[in-house]
Amino acid sequence: MSDTILHDHGGDGIDRRGFLKCMAWAGTGAIWAMQSGVLRSIPLGRDPAAAAALQADLVFAQLSDSHIGFAKEANPDVTATLQEAVDRLNRLPRRPAFVLHTGDISQLSKPTEFDTADQVLKGIRTDRVWFVPGEHDVLEDNGRQYLERYGKKTKGDGWYSFDHAGVHFVGLVNVLNLKAGGLGNLGADQIAWLRKDLAGRSSSTPVVVFAHVPLWTVYPDWGWGTDDSEQALALLRRFGSVTVLNGHIHQVMQKVEGNMAFHTAMSTAFPQPAPGTAPSPGPLTVEPARLRSLLGLTSVTYHQGHHALAVVDSPLGVAPAGVSQAATVAHGSANGRSPAVIGDGLAIRIDNFAFNPAELHVTRGGKVTWVNNDDVPHLIASADGRFKPSKPLDTGDSYTLTLDQPGTYKYFCTLHPRMTGRIVVD
């Protein structure tokens, strides 16, 4: 629509095992209905309460992880599935006030990918689309292109807040300045800004926080969490209703801690495996008939004066009878093994989000070549600035480095900082 504004930024004691069991494959994104200040999930089209939820004082939607530019076996046409999510939003009986996109708009931060996403998102019948970046949106320029497109009125690296219908919304950025071996990161400047942003606000104000990487520790072995999230959450605990929305993990997982409800959304592009059910995260290839049952959107409605937001996760499609909803197929990663030597240098294979070998010994002046066999990009960087980082390496891409000085070179993937390795130069 021509009036759509794309870039206008101005305790239940559930333990880890318990909330992993709460994970449900339902769809990509969400429709959110604010009721009593807390977000609740009601599957659209399958629960009669969904229609009632859309009569709330505030209804908004969440999309996430569109990955425009991805074109591999897990989903060869991610633009089409994003369009399906938009079409589904436009068929809702009530137009959402706005849409939150919680990151990974693009696959490789290419201008053409952002252009395509913008063209599709302009078709949403809503007043605004608000964004926070995913790690795939800030690849080569530390997020400058993202900020020019989506963050001209934001603070710092793209964080901001706004108020709507009595609810305070906070968009946070936790995909920049990542450290080797770490998780997502907010940083001291952003946390200081958040403290000022929340100061003076009544504790009865419902707060919705949205970011890309989860602000709760879903599965640290796969990098699904944020190192300094506790500092931000401590600032939010005085509020009577706090809802935290994220993307990144491409599946619905929910947790409640006292007055805080955490909810991660599905992707419009491809599913990922449930935590610990595969060698690593990454695009999950399933039968074509099952794919749309694992993609969807989320909506939210709010009733003024109450304390619960109604969260609705809606799949793009339903798996045919007899086809399992559970996504258990190993994700697509190249099965070929890179040779131990490439040209006149040694090789490090990137498979299943790991460097193989994790430690390599070379002689002074020797060459090392990283080869990406995964279906997602990786970016190689020195943990202590001893060599120039690579460009984003898509599937089949390689990066060669000549190491002239003796010593130990620690490195990691800046997109997936839990991936670490080292090279010893003798």
- Cα separation, 160 vs 414, whole angstroms: 24
Neighbours of 256 (CB within 10 A): 16
Q: What's the confidence (pLDDT) of residue 1?
A: 38
Q: Is residue 10 part of a domain?
A: no
pLDDT digits (tens, 9 = 90+) for 140-163: 888 999 999 999 999 999 999 999
Burial of 245 (0-12, 13-18, 19+ CB in 10 A): buried
Is the residue at 390 inside a domain?
yes
Judgement on whether residues 417 and 372 belong to the same structural domain of the protein: yes
Q: What is the mean pLDDT of the chain?
A: 82
Name the token pair of 158: 């793209």
Q: Is residue 71 located within the same domain as residue 141?
A: yes
- The average pLDDT across 124-132 equals 96
30/108 same-domain check? yes
Q: How do residues 261-296 score in pLDDT, each as one tens digit?
A: 898 988 999 999 988 889 999 998 876 766 655 665
Distance between CA atoms of 372 and 394, rounded to whole angstroms?
7
- The string of pLDDT tens digits covering residues 214-267 is 999 999 999 999 999 999 999 999 999 999 999 999 988 888 888 898 989 889
Residue-wise pLDDT for 323-360, tens only, equals 444 443 333 333 444 446 776 789 999 999 999 999 99
How many domains are contained in the chain? 2
| Element of type H or E holding 400 | strand 398-403
CATH number at residue 213: 3.60.21.10
**Tokens coding 370:** 């990283």
Asked if 210 and 62 sit in the same domain, the reply is: yes
Percent over 90 (pLDDT), the chain: 62
Query: Has residue 300 been placed in a domain?
Result: yes
pLDDT digits (tens, 9 = 90+) for 73-107: 999 999 999 999 999 889 888 889 999 999 999 99
The string of DSSP letters for 216-232 reads S-SBGGGTBSBTTHHHH
Q: What is the pTM of this model?
A: 0.83
The stretch 303-318 carries a mean pLDDT of 46
d(CA 63, CA 90): 13
The two beta strands, 345-351 and 366-372, are parallel
Rg (CA), the chain: 21
Write the DSSP assignment of 134-162 as a string of letters. -GGGSSSSTTHHHHHHH-TT-BTTTBEEE
**Tokens in use for 269?**
């592009």
Domain assignment of residue 204, given as a range? 16-315
- Note whether residue 3 is domain-resident: no
User: Residues of the chain with pLDDT > 70: what percent?
Assistant: 75
Written as one letter, the residue type at 199 is A
- Same domain assignment for residues 271 and 346: no
- 303 and 413 share one domain: no
Q: What is the pLDDT of residue 39?
A: 57
